[in-house]
Amino acid sequence: MTPPLLERRQQLLSPSYRLFYDEPLHLASGQGAWLTDVQGRRFLDAYNNVVPAGHCHPRIVAAIVAQTERLNTHTRYLHDTIVDYADALLATFPFPAQATFTCSGSEANDLAIRIARHVTGGEGLIITENAYHGVTSSTAEISPSLGKSVNLGAHVRTVRAPAAGTDFAAGVRSAIADLQRHGIRPALLVVDTIFSSDGIFSDPAGFLVPAVEAIREAGGLFLADEVQPGFGRTGTHMWGFERHGIAPDMVSMGKPMGNGYPVAGLVCQPDVIRNFGSSIRYFNTFGGNPVAMAAALATLSVIQDEHLMENAHTVGTYLRAKLARHPAILDVRGAGLFIGAELADEAIATRVVNEMRARGVLISSSGPAGNVLKIRPPLIFSHEQADILNDTTEAALDVALSDL
Amino acid sequence: MTPPLLERRQQLLSPSYRLFYDEPLHLASGQGAWLTDVQGRRFLDAYNNVVPAGHCHPRIVAAIVAQTERLNTHTRYLHDTIVDYADALLATFPFPAQATFTCSGSEANDLAIRIARHVTGGEGLIITENAYHGVTSSTAEISPSLGKSVNLGAHVRTVRAPAAGTDFAAGVRSAIADLQRHGIRPALLVVDTIFSSDGIFSDPAGFLVPAVEAIREAGGLFLADEVQPGFGRTGTHMWGFERHGIAPDMVSMGKPMGNGYPVAGLVCQPDVIRNFGSSIRYFNTFGGNPVAMAAALATLSVIQDEHLMENAHTVGTYLRAKLARHPAILDVRGAGLFIGAELADEAIATRVVNEMRARGVLISSSGPAGNVLKIRPPLIFSHEQADILNDTTEAALDVALSDL
């Protein structure tokens, strides 16, 4: 007799793997904002930003299928789609730039670190206190949210996240001074432009400006990590950095880029990448392959043609206003369909997340204290789905609070 | 008027991108071992190991299409295919092991470095003189083949590749001693088990045994990088390390794993991964996703059901014997369909590679001196295709030699 799936998984996969929820979800299929498990039960997906156009969007599936049937090679041959996609992608940027494609956001951020160190001659990296930027050696060293068993790099300094009342730029200046006091030249300030793992901080728009000025004055570069906020999720702009009116030296992107197909990238200002690129070649076997580019091009077209950014703004504004009415929610933050709802503590947040899963709605929690509900549905999310999410949040909160 | 593709590519993509051949190939489609360019000209692909089953293999395409239409999420939900694939993959290993899935071979090798440093408490890494193991910060530091503009890590030592007459284990012991003399504890010996970028060294089978013993005696681990030789390419075994009769602590794999779909992985002995996994979580958004696992499962099934390893052995043996007859080829090395043919110098090798491209056959060159033809066709390669390759090599050699 075959043992149950969970037991086989634990036997065959690395113990580093973790599952969501007290009662893990065993999935079979997905369509739009809905996932279906192997028992046929449906779940409203309000968490997976990897599918901005919804699960199995027909136009994106068709693009992947057509290219998979035709050709899949790599960037050492000429191919039209990578150039067409770069063209479409860079047209969404408010400044001239050049693209490099990778498989994952980790690889994009890791490449940005290589470039920054090459360009500046420095080693020092500045991040936020509970940042997450990836799982390669170099990006794990700048990802304190992975927990204390993963060491930060010796050349890494952390800054308090920009909660209300925090002078973020002052924190950056003080990190720069500390690096310099240790004889370490600052190379890079890295910021997830909506502070996804720090608890979601979006306002007031513009607070990043003096921080970026400070790192540049010290000879370092600024990387906007758009892996989570990018591609229209914040509702008013394609990229989170645009809300702040800044032009980053480098911009990384990933998760939603191919609506699930593995594809990510790094966009650099030409002055930043010129010297690195002339002396150092970069070849990523799967990065920028024809199928990945077809998936990314179709995803970007759907985001634009179906006005998903505008939908994220409308439905996000509606949803935040509804959530803000519940007295147990202490603060509702975010932009568009990237929403953080702060609760009293981690125990309540964990209880709410699991109770919502039991009631058929999927979200998660975040922040250094684990007390912020993280709500990040597909950008096709409707007002009706926002109502379901809000009603289920309220019901789960009532259960969680009555337990205490 | 739209500028030509090459010009648009140079404008829109990073200057780090490079193209194959003096006259780049502009590809449109692929089928089996054949690629077709936009003018309809056909090229015999004797280089791309990313498609062991040939371009657009119908059974693998069907598996990718079916799962893309159904669901693509990640490893924080239970899903059958990742467990089924891990089961099938680990059944090919001669020792008990556990799997972690990534997007790229770079990510797999990078994770191995993290694990080795965690497990051993050491920092020292030992590699071959012209090794290639990836493009993340940590794997680029152990990839001297990227060129002198990419620095090796301060804790990295190189060993001469095992050309005939070289005592490889003695080189490893001396690298260990040098690390220790600098107060650096050895963490990991990394070897591409067919020395792909060092010039392809496969014999005598077994020469890795004393090198692995040496690193273990010094408290370090051994990683077999199977990204290029793995999945049956060497003809007699599924994994290059098996030819040497060793059981690596960790084994990385990638390129051919999904017949073009971005998927890679790291397989570890349970004792090696236990402690890392219990304290450090590893989540790779796209790594091990349901479509990647469907692609990998179909690819492994095709390799096994169509006896591609046996074909690699038969056709590879036939091809090596034919190539060895040409007087300008100084040495023919390799195993199965991973073949190195040594020429007098880099100028001749480059000329041959470009001349063969002009005659419709795709190969490349390798080795620290750039003088080794690197021949790595899909594992479905037929005797007839081997004849075309051999005849074209001879014709190109005649042209190259008459030029001198």
Which residues are CB-contacts of A199 (< 8 A; sequence separation ≥ 6)? A130, A161, A163, A333, A340, A342, A366, A367, A368, A369, A372
Tokens of A371: 């007390």
- Establish if A41 touches chain B: CB-CB under 8 angstroms: no
Domain limit, last residue, from B305, B340, B369 = B305
- What is the total residue count of chain A? 404
Q: How far is B271 from chain A (nearest CA, A)?
A: 11
Chain B partners of A149 at a C-beta cutoff of 8 Å?
Answer: 279-280
Q: Give, in order, the Cα–Cα distances in Å from A155 to each of A112, A129, A211, B184.
A: 16, 15, 19, 19
Residue B292's pLDDT is: 98
Residue B54's pLDDT is: 98
Domain limit, last residue, from B305, B327, B347 = B305
Tell me the CATH number at A397: 3.90.1150.10
Exposed, middle or buried by CB within 10 Å (0-12, 13-18, 19+), for B91?
exposed
Residue B403's pLDDT is: 78
Q: Which of A195, A199, A189, A245 is nearest to A221 (CA)?
A: A189
Does residue A169 sit in the same domain as residue A232? Answer: yes
Inter-chain CB pairs, A–B, below 8 Å: 310
Q: What does the CA dihedral A252, A257, A262, A268 come to, rounded to 10 degrees? A: -30
Identify whether A204 is preceded by a cis peptide bond (ω within 30 of 0): yes
Residue B51's pLDDT is: 98
CB A236 within 8 A of CB B266: no
Coil, helix or strand at residue B336? coil
Does residue B171 sit in the same domain as residue B257? Answer: yes
Does residue B243 sit in the same domain as residue B103? Answer: yes
Domain limit, last residue, from A280, A305, A330 = A305
CB B105 within 8 A of CB B248: no
Mean pLDDT of B356-363: 98
Does residue A300 sit in the same domain as residue A311? Answer: no
Other CB atoms within a 10 A radius of the CB of residue B230 amount to 29
Does residue A184 sit in the same domain as residue A213? Answer: yes
Domain span at residue A271 reads 58-305
- What is the rounded CA–CA span in Å between residue A315 and residue B246? 58
Cα-atom radius of gyration of chain B, to the nearest Å? 21
Chain B partners of A377 at a C-beta cutoff of 8 Å?
Answer: none
Q: What residue in A sits closest to B80 (Cα-Cα)?
A: A5
Tokens of A136: 């390669």
Chain B partners of A33 at a C-beta cutoff of 8 Å?
Answer: none
Contact A30 B71 (CB under 8 A): yes
Residue A194's pLDDT is: 93
Q: How far is B298 from chain A (nearest CA, A)?
A: 14
Tokens of A359: 């009631």
Please report, in tens digits, the pLDDT of each residue of chain A (404 residues total): 677 999 999 999 999 999 999 999 999 999 999 999 999 999 999 999 999 999 999 999 999 999 999 999 999 999 999 999 999 999 999 999 999 999 999 999 999 999 999 999 999 999 999 999 999 999 999 999 999 999 999 999 999 999 888 999 999 999 999 999 999 999 999 999 999 999 899 889 899 999 999 999 999 999 999 999 999 999 999 999 999 999 999 999 999 999 999 999 999 999 999 999 999 999 999 999 999 999 999 999 999 999 999 999 999 999 999 999 999 999 999 999 999 999 999 999 999 999 999 999 999 999 889 999 999 999 999 999 999 999 999 999 999 999 76
Please report, as a single letter, which amino acid is at residue A184. Answer: I
Residue A89's pLDDT is: 98
Contact B279 A56 (CB under 8 A): no
What is the tally of helices (H) and strands (E) in chain B?
Answer: 12, 15
Q: What residue in A sits closest to B27 (Cα-Cα)?
A: A79
Asked whether residue B340 carries a pLDDT value surpassing 70, the answer given is yes
Contact B77 A274 (CB under 8 A): no
pLDDT band at B1 (very low <50, low <70, confident <90, very high): low
Residue A1's pLDDT is: 60
Identify the residue among B59, B72, B197 best suited for mutation to test binding to A, counting A beta carbons within 10 A and taking the highest.
B72
Contact B16 A273 (CB under 8 A): yes
Q: What residue in B sits closest to A7 (Cα-Cα)?
A: B83
pLDDT tens-place string over residues B106-158:
999 999 999 999 999 999 999 999 999 999 999 999 999 999 999 999 999 99
- With a threshold of 0.90, tell me whether the complex ipTM lies above it: yes
- What is the rounded CA–CA span in Å between residue B48 and residue A192? 37
Chain A partners of B150 at a C-beta cutoff of 8 Å?
Answer: 280
Helices B383-403 and B346-358: angle between axes, nearest 10 degrees: 120
Which residues are CB-contacts of B70 (< 8 A; sequence separation ≥ 6)? A28, A29, A30, A56, B290
Q: How far is B175 from chain A (nearest CA, A)?
A: 23
Asked whether residue B2 carries a pLDDT value surpassing 90, the answer given is no
- What is the rounded CA–CA span in Å between residue A153 and residue A151? 6
Does residue B284 sit in the same domain as residue B340? Answer: no
pTM passes above 0.90: yes
Q: What residue in B sits closest to A82 (Cα-Cα)?
A: B9
In the stretch 84-143 of chain A, residues with CB closer than 8 A to chain B read 86-87, 90, 98-100, 102-107, 110-111, 113-114, 135-138, 140
Please report, as a single letter, which amino acid is at residue A103. Answer: C
- What is the rounded CA–CA span in Å between residue B320 and residue B322? 5
- What is the rounded CA–CA span in Å between residue B42 and residue A70? 14
Cβ-nearest to B18 among A16, A80, A283: A283
Coil, helix or strand at residue B153? coil
Q: Which of A70, A63, A61 is nearest to A297 (CA)?
A: A63
Does residue A155 sit in the same domain as residue A97? Answer: yes
Contact A83 B8 (CB under 8 A): yes
Does residue B283 sit in the same domain as residue B322? Answer: no
- Taking all residues of chain B, what is their mean pLDDT, rounded to a whole number? 96
Q: Could you report how far apart the first and last alpha carbons of chain B are, in Å?
A: 43
- What is the tally of structural domains in chain B? 2
Does residue B186 sit in the same domain as residue B97? Answer: yes
Cα-atom radius of gyration of chain A, to the nearest Å? 21
The full 3-state SS of chain A, as one line of letters, equals: CCCCHHHHHHHHECCCCCCCCCCCCEEEEEEECEEEECCCCEEEECCCCCCCCCECCHHHHHHHHHHHHHCCCCCCCECHHHHHHHHHHHCCCCCCCEEEEECCHHHHHHHHHHHHHHHHCCCEEEEECCCCCCCCHHHHCCCHHHCCCCCCCCCEEEECCCCCCCCHHHHHHHHHHHHHHCCCCEEEEEEECCCCCCCCCCCCCCCCHHHHHHHHHCCCEEEEECCCCCCCCCCCCCCHHHHHCCCCCEEEECHHHHCCCCCEEEEECHHHHHHHHHHCCCCCCCCCCHHHHHHHHHHHHHHHHCCHHHHHHHHHHHHHHHHCCCCCCCEEEEECCEEEEECCCHHHHHHHHHHHHHCCEECEEECCCCCEEEECCCCCCCHHHHHHHHHHHHHHHHHHHHHC
CB B252 within 8 A of CB B112: yes
Does residue A91 sit in the same domain as residue A37? Answer: no
Does residue A43 sit in the same domain as residue A69? Answer: no
Q: How far is A235 from chain B (nearest CA, A)?
A: 23
- What is the rounded CA–CA span in Å between residue B160 and residue B148? 17
Q: How far is A268 from chain B (nearest CA, A)?
A: 8
Residue B315's pLDDT is: 98
Does residue A315 sit in the same domain as residue A375? Answer: yes
